[in-house]
Amino acid sequence: MDLRVEGLRHAYDALPVLEGIDLDIPSGRILCLVGPSGCGKSTLLRIIGGLERPTEGKVLQVGAPPEGCLNPLTYVFQDFALLPWRTVAGNIRLGLEEHRLPPGRADEIVADVLARTNLSDFADALPKQLSGGMKQRVAIARALAVNPAVMLLDEPLSALDAQTRELLMEDLISLWTRQPFTAVYVTHNLAEAVRLGHSIAVLSRRPGRIREIVTLDKPLAERIHMDADLEAVQEHLWTMMREEARAADAELLNG
Amino acid sequence: MADQQARPVPFRGGGFRPVSIRGVGLAVFVTLLLLAEWGTRTGWISALTLPRPSDVVATFGELWTSGMLFKHLAPSLTRLAVGASLGVAVGVSTGILIGLFSYIRSGLVPLVAALFPIPKIALLPLFVIWFGIDEGSKYALIAFGTFTPTVVATYGAVDNVDRTLIRMGQSFGMGWFSIVRKIVLPGAMPGILSGLRISLAIAIILLVAAEMLGAEYGIGAYILEAGSLYDLERLFAGVVVLSLLGVVVSTVIGQIEKRLLGWRV
């Protein structure tokens, strides 16, 4: 299943936040959205997943979601959004409870995603017992459990420290390599974008417009930390964003 | 530099983290009682000011052995249980509705604000007309008194449920009832339970007020009778029962919190 964003415009009251957004999200690939703070990239992600209604334009699902997909558009949130009163397994089960699965199927799925995310030993732990990185792994496992057609990741690593971020990036890459998934990945971290994105859409500052879409051909598994090619792309992205970021920063100060 | 004096950096941290120390609470009780006992025995405190604690204990023992304690306690506990469960049940449901629906919120929040400060005791004559002089008016008074604080605590608690959790539920395609049952209710539980502590204390206060009118038996009736006869020993014996009731209720809620809210950080 592909996603297509057509002629999207969004405004909060009189304040335009997104304008003239056209995007194609092909299946099996990761699209990164980068841009200065306040450029509306998270808003765009909420609109793509149907959590917010755009002022104009539409988001289309092209083709049917794959067989066995329980929740076509599934989010991973920046602050994890785990239910603190449920165990790891209980949190992962949450998305499955809405569907009438044959008895025992939910347990199989939970066990499977726990194994895929190396969380099997933590099935009965409560979120308060987990580190930030572990919590986000649980959130990723919860998203994988419903077998989404498109994963919508909203700055999933931004609340984590640099080392944990590196570990989780490796986890995401190995998950994708084993079983490619479609994803829209919002981040303000360019290093994440060049590591994980098959294509990177750069948004301008508010109102957000797409300035350029950079395509990276290097397979995800071959991209390593401090890769020279990736550094060049990152440098290119940063030159493009630098002035925008500065202006956006000043704009916030002016209120 | 070498000849300059070296001093340790003065410590400025610490404090602001009170913990409960075992036995201190009990020691305060015992000290106060001993002081009262000593004062009344030496005549430093006159018998009109304060009854002798040992006499109160004796009165309490009489109450126990004669079986009158349970004759008074049984109707009181029934009134408390029926009235408080009624008030809490309606209060929690109303609070959740206020927390979830704009129209209900706009309509009921001012009404609750108007009802809250009314001393419910002042309405007792009205309740007698509405619900009869029997148990009905007593249940109604206690229910009404527990209703308002429960509503306020509940809708505040629902307001404080993390919205990102609700968005998360929606993003997984959860239905409205599922979100309320699995996210809103457990998320509001800490606030509801701490509101319950206040509501139930108010219920105990109102129990005495409810028994002011036409109650033959009941802790409140017992206290009022003792009061009008200026029988301080019996008055205090009754008050001790109410205090103990408060401690029991608070302990029970503490246990519930321990079981239901173990997930809190």
CA distance B27 to chain A (A): 36
Interface contact flag, B165 A75, Cβ < 8 Å: no
SS percent in chain B: helix, strand, coil, step 5:
75, 0, 25
User: Does position B107 have pLDDT exceeding 80, yes or no?
Assistant: yes
* Whole-angstrom distance, CA of residue B95 vs CA of residue B180: 13
Average pLDDT over every residue of A33-54: 88
Is B172's CB within 8 Å of A79's CB?
Answer: no
H or E segment and range at residue B205: helix B185-210
Write out pLDDT tens, residues B20-32: 888 998 999 999 9
pLDDT, residue A208, reads 85
Cβ separation A51–B164 shorter than 8 A: no
pLDDT interval class at A223 (50, 70, 90): confident
pTM over 0.90: no
B147 found inside a domain = yes
pLDDT-derived band at B89 (thresholds 50, 70, 90) equals very high
Residues in contact with B97: Cβ distance below 8 Å, sequence separation at least 6, in sequence order: B104, B108
Residues of B whose CB is below 8 A from A74: 171-172
Residue B73: both structure tokens together: 């306690």
Question: Is residue B4 in some structural domain?
Answer: no
Contact A83 B170 (CB under 8 A): no
Which chain A residues have a beta carbon less than 8 Å from that of B174? 94, 98
Q: Is the pLDDT of residue A255 over 60?
A: no
> What band does B185 get if pLDDT is binned at 50, 70 and 90?
very high
Q: Which residue of A has its CA nearest to B178?
A: A98
- Give the DSSP per-residue string, B84-97: HHHHHHHHHHHHHH
Q: Which residues contact B32 (CB under 8 A, 6 or more apart)?
A: none
- Residue A170, SS3? helix
By the CB < 8 Å criterion, does B186 face chain A? yes
pLDDT at A225 over 80: no
- Res A254: pLDDT: 54
Q: How far is it, in rounded angstroms, from Cα B104 to Cα B108?
A: 6
A85: chain B residues, CB-CB within 8 Å? 186-187, 263
- Note whether B181 contacts A: Cβ–Cβ < 8 A: no
What is the spatial distance between Cα B122 and Cα B141, in angstroms, rounded to a whole number?
Answer: 10
Q: Which of A6, A9, A105, A113 is nearest to A59 (CA)?
A: A6
The ipTM estimated for the assembled molecules is 0.88
All domains in chain A, ordered by first residue: 2-253 (3.40.50.300)
Least confident of A59-73, A241-255, B104-118, B152-166: A241-255
Contact B51, B236 (CB under 8 A): yes
Q: Is residue B118 part of a domain?
A: yes
The side-by-side arrangement of strands in the sheet containing A15-25 is A15-25, A2-12, A56-62
Q: Check which CATH number belongs to the domain holding B207 and give it.
A: 1.10.3720.10
Contact predicate B45/B59, CB 8 Å: no
Q: Indicate the pLDDT class of residue B4, thresholds 50, 70 and 90.
A: confident
The angle formed by the CA atoms of residues A183, A140 and A171, to the nearest 5 degrees, is 80
Question: Per residue in B13-22, pLDDT tens?
Answer: 988 988 888 8
pLDDT beyond 80 at B1: no
**Nearest by CB to B164, which of A79, A98, A146?**
A79
The answer to whether residues B205 and B121 touch, using CB atoms and an 8 Å cutoff, is no
pLDDT recorded at residue B2? 61
**B192 located within any domain:** yes
Residue-level pLDDT at B194: 92
Q: Which helix (H) or strand (E) holds B252?
A: helix B232-260
Q: How many domains does chain B have?
A: 1
Band (pLDDT 50/70/90 cuts) for residue A36 is confident
pLDDT of residue A222: 83
B230 in a structural domain: yes
- By C-alpha distance, the chain B residue nearest A151 is B171
Cβ–Cβ below 8 Å for A146 and B171? no
Alpha-carbon separation of residue A107 from A96, A183, A194 (angstroms):
10, 25, 36
Instruction: Determine the Cα–Cα distance for residues B240 and B223; give it in Å rounded to an integer.
Output: 10
Structural domain includes residue B17: no
Contact residues, chain A, for B173 at CB < 8 Å: 71, 95, 98
**pLDDT of B126 higher than 60:** yes
What per-residue confidence (pLDDT) applies to A67?
83
Say if the Cβ atoms of B171 and A85 lie within 8 Å: no
Q: Are B250 and B25 in contact (CB under 8 A)?
A: no
Separation in Å, CA A235 to CA A189, A190, A214, A248: 12, 9, 12, 19
User: What is the pLDDT, as a whole number, of residue B120?
Assistant: 87
Mark yes or no for CB contact B171/A75 under 8 Å. yes
Does residue B132 form part of some domain?
A: yes
The answer to whether residue B46 is domain-embedded is: no
Q: Which pLDDT does position A253 carry in this prediction?
A: 62
**Domain carrying residue B97:** 51-260
CB contact at 8 A, A10 and A47: yes
Place of tokens 């469960």: B85
Contact status of A187 with chain B (Cβ, < 8 Å): no
* Nearest chain B residue (CA) to A77: B168
| B77-98 per-residue burial string, b: 16 or more CB within 10 A, e: under 16 | eebbeebbebbbebbbebbbbb
A98 part of contact set with chain B, CB < 8 Å: yes
